[in-house]
DNA sequence: TTATATGCCTAATTTGATTAGGTATTACAT
DNA sequence: ATGTAATACCTAATCAAATTAGGCATATAA
């Protein structure tokens, strides 16, 4: 688990990319996916996740469909066309940001950025 | 320039690492170094920088020495021993965090993380 | 002489997380 | 049968850390 204010600014990117990869997901599922994909290193809190989802929906990047599993509600989210664009933009922006920061943190250029597999 | 809440959580890491590499720097100098090292992609605002420096000093990670250049004040910061430890810890944490996030954003592993130079 | 660069700073606001609740259904032990 | 954990949604109060927008002063270049 991270001592992360690092997550700030990354959450929406994570959400958008996961939806881009998976078609549709509901909130709880997103927390589990992230947990699985990160070996529990990132555990999204619901207090961060749901407001973020609502915000993305309000911005027109996500659309929802509600389903019932028995009596239990599930709210699926999927990307709108705008959302698809945003997903790829934000992933690219994050990658670029990381490259930039690593350029400062890692000033000695081997091949380039230290992210080379051994 | 970044649309960055991405910077959140990264600023102190940047400061610590720059001081680790440079021995001592003053505030204004840090903004310039970052600007230079990032081709102006990251421009630290003073409203973020100075409070961050003061906080790191309060935490015992930085020590200061004030000098006068003519009548103009310069406040140099350098790492304490605690600060040196924190610098390497935070750089490692950032790298780990990035690796983790990229694992989600970039689920298809070529060699590993997409950060391979062409 | 006036704008720009250097150099420090803080206060109000905004953003976006954490913490800590609340509600309800379903599954699994004891 | 009963209580705990997992599933599933949500919000409000608080906290952290940035942006925005100032203020002050000296030095330099137009």
More confident of the two residues B7 and A13: A13
- Percent share of chain A, pLDDT over 90: 81
- The alpha carbon of residue B112 is apart from the nearest alpha carbon of chain A, in Å, by 7
* pTM of the predicted model as reported, rounded to 2 decimal places: 0.88
Residue A9 has pLDDT above 90, yes or no: no
pLDDT digits (tens, 9 = 90+) for B66-98: 999 999 999 999 999 999 999 999 999 999 999
Q: Do B117 and A117 touch (CB under 8 A)?
A: no
What value does the mean pLDDT take over residues A16-27?
A: 97
User: Count of residues for chain B?
Assistant: 118
Gap between the Cα atoms of B97 and B103, Å rounded: 10
Q: What is the pLDDT of residue B17?
A: 97
Query: Is the Cβ of A7 closer than 8 Å to some Cβ of chain B?
Result: yes
**Confidence check: pLDDT of A95 > 50:** yes
B92 — contact with chain A (CB < 8 Å)?
no
Task: Give B111's contacts (C-beta < 8 A, 6+ positions apart).
Answer: A117
Q: How far apart, in Å, do the first and last CA atoms of chain A sit?
A: 25
Specify the pLDDT at position A77.
98
The region, left, alpha or beta by phi > 0 then psi within -120 to 50, assigned to residue A94 is alpha
- For nucleotide D7, the protein residue with its alpha carbon nearest to C1' is A28
Task: Choose between A118 and B106: higher pLDDT.
Answer: B106
User: How far A65 CA lies from chain B's nearest CA (Å)?
Assistant: 24
Q: Which of B9, B107, B116 sits opposite A8 (nearest CB)?
A: B9
**Residue found by looking up tokens 């790829």 in the block:** A88
Surface of A (43-82) touching B: CB under 8 A: none
State the nucleotide closest to A77 in CA–C1' terms: D9
CA distances from B62 to A4, A5, A22, A41 (A): 21, 21, 46, 29
Sign for the pseudo-dihedral over CA of A37, A83, A13, A26:
negative
At B104 the three-state DSSP class reads helix
Q: B67 burial class (0-12, 13-18, 19+ CB within 10 angstroms)?
A: exposed
- pLDDT given at position B48: 95
> Which pLDDT tens digit goes with each residue over A55-64?
999 999 999 9
């Amino acid at each position: 688990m991270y001592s992360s204010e690092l997550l700030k600014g990354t959450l929406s990117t994570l959400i958008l990319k996961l939806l881009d990869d998976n078609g549709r997901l509901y909130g709880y599922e997103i927390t589990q996916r992230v947990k699985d994909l990160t070996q529990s290193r990132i555990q999204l809190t619901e207090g961060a996740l749901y407001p973020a989802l609502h915000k993305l929906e309000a911005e027109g990047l996500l659309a929802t469909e509600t389903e019932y599993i028995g009596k239990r509600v599930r709210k699926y989210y999927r990307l709108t066309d705008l959302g698809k664009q945003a997903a790829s933009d934000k992933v690219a922006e994050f990658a670029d940001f990381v490259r930039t920061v690593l350029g400062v943190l890692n000033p000695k250029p081997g091949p380039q950025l230290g992210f080379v597999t051994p």
